[in-house]
């Protein structure tokens, strides 16, 4: 039911049951918020969103108060603005104030509020936060001195990701945020997804930088520096440069990276196609030889770490395939380096990913040889944008160029792996061909394109009726694992992606808030799939060539050595 | 020792979250502190993340997370003692032992807690060392008390 309410000097239409904030936002009236998280229950703890409601003696938190018919609301009266300003001033009273050195300089919400509310002097002098940064994690750095205890990371980790690593510790103004027992992140249950970074309004959480050595490597004449970048990066990086959201910028990105000094620029989507072909082969082998099923996807390192920590009994279900990043990394190190006579010690491989967990992945014990990783540095989309700007490259002004031979061709199926459900759709295309020798008549698997955290489809392939599920939430994955342990046997393949929506919403993605960015990125990828001449991984001529010239077949000893990996139970406080 | 923890948890199974605090209290009074191991086991049996349990436990002053030292100081932080500058006693003790409330010295000798009113307000400031009460304490007295206990921790 709709009804009019008075706001400032106008009347707006509110809906029964919504909060004041929702009514205001729908009508284009902006009120600052800090602890508020769309879609989650309000906590009303930060009081940034206060408004004046006639007849109420105290200011009211718009985010948690339901709108009512009789209300007359003032959103920016002097009293309200003053209250918000004082709020920000109090938050700043013990803040380190080192914006110039801060990871979030330029896109910090606290900084923005201070500017908007015209905070120009220090009115409250508190004791400065002296907490030390925790650089122990492979992906995430915590800087508690910058934490304003809004609780968004805690709620994200608990209610959105579902692992609950971060929590409140202590009470009152002594409250801090940290993992259980206030341990270092590397000893905690953190799965490195980086969603907490996306939730953090300040610089209290950020990725571990890998870009610092890169500049040196690029300018060292003996070092042969190669890049690989994920299809998700190609579809979202443009947002950092004010390009049209959803525009795929492979072409200009290739050119820009070459200008910055990379010797070769490869497309990780080639690795994704390779992964899909190997995955289909592993599936077939398990199906035919009575191996462990359902097979679990293995490209999301956060999901892998989750299984190793919470469900080590399910490790046999995990596909042994390395992720696309790591497959391409091995192939670059072994095949590309040999073919082009590059000494491994002179080779420096950099990948650009939408994901913080990929930094963790590159350093997994099982994926390094004598401590040396196949991928030397993993940059997030954000770091890549910064790197391009640092090198003075005007991204939009580049002509499009192709990625480098031999890892330049890719299918649109490989690209779909950026989306929750996309991997399953892509696998089905290749698996169908593998099991039946025929191409799927309808390669679009609409059931996998729904925006749900559990999607399922059953498809007949040859004599088998196979069940595929794509899961996009740890909590749901846990539930399905329990069902499997209790005997559920209609599923044969399960994809799990930790980040809501998939890698397009990864923890390394732009902080810049383009409205509806996720929908736009998703739509763009499906459109590419529509247009692409190659829509299945097994039809990628580059991948076919790699098997013919080098790997022989997915089951060869060489393919196994280079493309498969192992997992191990991890003991951390859960 | 660990079996004792299991026994206590066992007795509390099927409790809801409201029952968490009595469970923590019982474990603390049996073990003297809440170990990581105990919290992990509670988490496993109640299907609660350890971060939540640790969060609840650190919300209250009564819980400690390190074993007590041979000599355990409890500094009253009730209203009366507070007015009589118990905070200075605490600060001096922190300075002398180089630990904060809730902590234990590396050698396992001393530990400190701040507690609520000990019920002897007329004698404030009050501190308790192991089982012995000291009243009308001033920061200057602490050095002597520490020395005494150092040579004979159990009954100085
Ligand atoms: S990276 Fe993910 S799992 Fe780790 S603390 Fe942040 S939200 Fe939680
Ligand atoms: S869903 Fe994608 S971006 Fe998120 S943690 Fe997994 S691999 Fe990384
Ligand atoms: S945003 Fe409303 S109280 Fe924090
Ligand atoms: S306040 Fe210290 S004994 Fe009562």
* A249 inside domain: yes
> Chain B contact for A479, CB < 8 A?
no
> Does A81 map to a domain?
no
- Is the Cβ of A312 closer than 8 Å to some Cβ of chain B? no
Q: Looking at the predicted structure, is the pLDDT value of residue B2 above 80?
A: no
Is A285 domain-assigned? Answer: yes
Three-class DSSP labels, A507-556: CCCCCCCCCCHHHHHHHHHHHHHHHCCCCCHHHCHHHHHHHHHHHCCCCC
- What is the pTM for the complete model shown? 0.92
**What is the domain count for chain A?**
3
Chain A positions in Cβ-Cβ contact with residue B49 (cut-off 8 Å)? 158, 163-165, 167, 180, 189, 574
Query: For B51, which of A167, A170, A171 is closest by C-beta distance?
Result: A167
- Tens of pLDDT along A34-45? 999 998 989 999
Q: Consecutive 10-residue runs of chain A (574 residues): their mean pLDDT? A: 93 95 95 93 92 94 94 95 95 91 94 94 83 94 94 96 96 91 95 97 96 88 95 96 94 96 96 98 97 98 98 98 97 95 94 98 91 92 95 92 94 97 98 97 96 97 97 97 97 98 97 90 96 96 96 96 97 93
Choosing among A153, A178, A189, A573, which should be mutated to test the B contact, i.e. which has the most B CBs within 10 A? A573
User: Is A7:A53 a contact under the CB 8 Å cutoff?
Assistant: no
A472-511, pLDDT tens digit by residue?
A: 999 999 999 999 999 999 999 999 999 999 999 999 999 9
Q: Identify whether residues A449 and A428 lie together within a single domain.
A: yes
State the Cα–Cα distance between residues A85 and A87, nearest whole angstrom: 5
List, in sequence order, every residue forming a beta bridge with A224; answer none if it has no partner.
A347
Q: Are residues A199 and A263 in the same domain?
A: no
Centroid of ligand 2 to alpha carbon of A564 (angstroms) = 19
Q: Which residue lies with its CA nearest to atom 8 of ligand 2?
A: A355
Statement to judge: residues A543 and A510 lie in one domain:
yes
- Residue A83 lies inside a defined structural domain of this protein: no
Indicate the DSSP class of residue B149.
H
Task: For residues A247 and A343, state if they share a domain.
Answer: yes
- Contact (CB<8Å) B58/A573: no
Asked, for residue A571, whether it belongs to a domain, the answer is no
* Domain termination residue (choose one: A207, A224, A259): A207
Q: What is the pLDDT of residues B55-99, one digit of tens each?
A: 999 998 889 999 999 999 999 988 889 888 889 999 999 999 999
CA A67 – CA A17 distance, rounded (Å):
7
Q: Is A159 on the interface with B (CB under 8 A)?
A: no
CA distance A205 to chain B (A): 18
| CA nearest to A173 within chain B | B59
Residues of B in contact with A158 (CB under 8 A): 49
Contact predicate A144/A129, CB 8 Å: yes
Residue for token digits 């729904």? A450
Q: What is the CATH number for A134?
A: 3.30.70.20
Check if B62 contacts A (Cβ < 8 Å): no
Q: Which residues of A208-229 are buried (b: 16+ CB within 10 A; e: fewer)?
A: bbbbeebeebbeeeebbbbbbb
Looking at the fold, whether A548 and A419 belong to one and the same domain comes out as yes
User: Is the dihedral angle over the CA atoms A450, A453, A458, A461 positive or is it negative?
Assistant: positive
Kindly list the structural domains of chain B, giving each domain's residue range(s) and its CATH number in brackets, ordered by start.
2-59 (no CATH), 71-151 (3.40.30.10)
pLDDT at A513: 82
Q: Which residue of A has its CA nearest to B38?
A: A573
Query: Which ligand places an atom closest to the C-alpha of A498?
Result: 2
Residue A573 lies in a domain: no
Tokens of residue A143, six digits: 């800087």
| Contact A168/B at CB under 8 A | yes
Residue A318 sits in which domain range? Answer: 214-563
Q: Clarify whether residues A152 and A247 are in a common domain.
A: no
Q: Is A233:A384 a contact under the CB 8 Å cutoff? A: yes
Percentage of chain B exceeding pLDDT 90? 51
Same domain, A248 and A192: no
Q: Is residue A574 part of a domain?
A: no
Tell me how far apart the alpha carbons of residues A270 and B37 are, in angstroms, rounded to a whole number. Answer: 46
Q: How far is A474 from chain B (nearest CA, A)?
A: 14
A122 vs A145: CA distance, rounded Å: 18
Choose the final residue of a domain: A76, A106, A132.
A76
Confidence check: pLDDT of B155 > 80: no
**What CATH code is carried by the domain that includes residue A258?**
3.40.50.1780
Residue B1 has pLDDT above 60, yes or no: no
Q: Are residues A176 and A51 in the same domain?
A: no
Q: How confident is the model over A447-462, as pLDDT tens digits?
A: 999 999 999 999 999 9
Q: How far apart are CA B113 and CA A391, in angstroms?
A: 55
Q: What is the CATH number of the domain that holds A41?
A: 3.10.20.740
Q: How far is the CA of A46 from the centre of ligand 3 (A)?
A: 5
A410 and A552 both lie in a single domain: yes
Q: Are residues A59 and A165 in the same domain?
A: no
pLDDT given for residue A212 in this prediction: 84
Among A53, A76, A99, give the residue marking a domain's end: A76
Cis peptide before A406 (omega within 30 of 0): yes
Cα of A61 from ligand 3 centre, angstroms: 6
Query: Residue A25 has which token pair?
Result: 């936002």
Query: Does residue B156 carry a pLDDT above 90?
Result: no
Residue A246 lies in a domain: yes
Distances (CA, A) of B17 to A40, A168, B101: 21, 16, 27
- Verify that A187 and A151 share a domain, yes or no: yes
Which DSSP helix (H) or strand (E) runs through B145?
helix B142-151
Q: Which residue of B has its CA nearest to A181?
A: B54
The verdict on A282 and A348 lying in the same domain is yes
């Amino acid at each position: 039911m709709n009804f009019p309410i008075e706001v400032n000097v106008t009347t707006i239409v509110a809906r029964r049951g919504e909060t004041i904030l929702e009514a205001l936002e729908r009508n284009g009236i902006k009120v600052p918020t800090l602890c508020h998280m769309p879609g989650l229950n309000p906590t009303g703890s930060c009081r940034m969103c206060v408004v004046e409601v006639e007849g109420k003696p105290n200011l009211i938190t718009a985010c948690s108060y339901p709108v009512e018919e009789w209300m007359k609301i003032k959103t920016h009266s002097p009293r309200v603005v003053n209250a918000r300003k004082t709020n920000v001033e109090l938050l700043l009273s013990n803040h380190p104030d080192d914006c110039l050195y801060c990871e979030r300089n330029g896109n910090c919400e606290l900084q923005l509020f201070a500017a908007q509310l015209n905070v120009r002097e220090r009115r409250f002098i508190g004791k400065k936060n002296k907490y030390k940064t925790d650089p122990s994690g492979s992906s995430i750095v915590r800087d508690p001195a910058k934490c304003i205890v809004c609780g968004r990371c805690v709620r994200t980790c608990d209610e959105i990701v579902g692992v609950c690593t971060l929590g409140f510790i202590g009470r009152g103004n002594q409250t801090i945020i940290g993992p259980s027992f206030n341990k270092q992140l590397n000893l905690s249950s953190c799965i490195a997804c980086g969603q907490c970074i996306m939730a953090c309004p300040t610089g209290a959480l950020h990725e571990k930088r890998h870009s610092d050595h890169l500049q040196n490597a690029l300018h060292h004449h003996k070092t042969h520096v190669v890049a690989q970048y994920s299809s998700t990066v190609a579809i979202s990086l443009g947002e950092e440069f004010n390009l049209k959201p959803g525009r795929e910028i492979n072409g200009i990105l290739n050119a820009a990276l070459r200008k910055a000094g990379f010797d070769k620029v490869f497309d990780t989507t080639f690795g994704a196609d390779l992964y899909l072909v190997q995955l289909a082969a592993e599936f077939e082998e398990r199906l035919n030889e009575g191996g462990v099923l359902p097979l679990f996807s293995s490209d999301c390192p956060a999901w892998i770490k989750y299984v190793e920590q919470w469900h080590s009994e399910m490790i046999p279900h995990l596909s042994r395939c390395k992720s696309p990043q790591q497959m391409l990394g091995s192939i670059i190190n072994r095949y590309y380096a040999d073919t082009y006579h590059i000494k491994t010690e002179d080779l420096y491989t950099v990948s650009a990913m939408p994901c913080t967990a990929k930094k963790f992945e590159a350093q997994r014990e099982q994926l390094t040889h004598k401590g040396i990783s196949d991928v030397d540095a993993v940059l997030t989309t954000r770091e890549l944008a910064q790197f391009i700007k640092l090198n003075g490259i005007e991204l939009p002004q580049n002509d499009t160029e192709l990625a480098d031979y031999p890892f330049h061709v890719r299918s649109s199926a490989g690209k779909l792996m950026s989306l929750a459900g996309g991997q399953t759709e892509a696998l089905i295309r290749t698996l169908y061909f593998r099991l039946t020798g025929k191409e799927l008549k309808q390669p679009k698997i609409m059931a996998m394109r729904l925006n749900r955290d559990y999607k399922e489809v059953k498809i007949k392939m040859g004599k088998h009726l196979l069940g595929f599920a794509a899961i996009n939430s740890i909590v749901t994955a846990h539930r399905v694992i329990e069902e499997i342990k209790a005997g559920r046997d209609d599923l044969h393949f399960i994809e799990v992606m930790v980040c809501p929506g998939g890698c397009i919403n990864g923890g390394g993605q732009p902080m810049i808030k383009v409205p509806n960015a996720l929908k736009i990125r998703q739509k763009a990828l499906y459109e590419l799939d529509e247009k692409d001449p190659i829509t299945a991984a097994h039809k990628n001529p580059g991948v076919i060539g790699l098997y013919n010239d080098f790997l022989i077949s997915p089951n060869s000893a060489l393919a196994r050595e280079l493309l498969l990996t192992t997992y191990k139970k991890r003991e951390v406080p859960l | 020792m660990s079996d004792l923890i299991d026994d206590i948890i066992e007795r509390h199974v099927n409790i809801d979250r409201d029952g968490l605090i009595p469970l923590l209290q019982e474990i603390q009074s049996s073990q003297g502190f809440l170990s990581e191991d105990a919290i992990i086991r509670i988490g496993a049996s109640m299907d609660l993340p350890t971060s939540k349990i640790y969060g609840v436990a650190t919300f209250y002053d009564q819980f400690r997370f390190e074993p007590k030292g041979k000599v355990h100081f409890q500094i009253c932080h009730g209203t009366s003692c507070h007015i009589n500058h118990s905070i200075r006693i605490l600060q001096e003790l922190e300075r002398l032992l180089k630990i904060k409330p809730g902590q234990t010295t590396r050698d396992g000798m001393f530990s400190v807690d701040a507690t609520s009113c000990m019920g002897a307000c007329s004698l404030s400031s009050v501190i308790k060392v192991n089982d012995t009460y000291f009243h009308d304490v001033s920061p200057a007295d602490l050095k002597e008390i520490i020395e005494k206990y150092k040579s004979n921790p159990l009954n100085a």
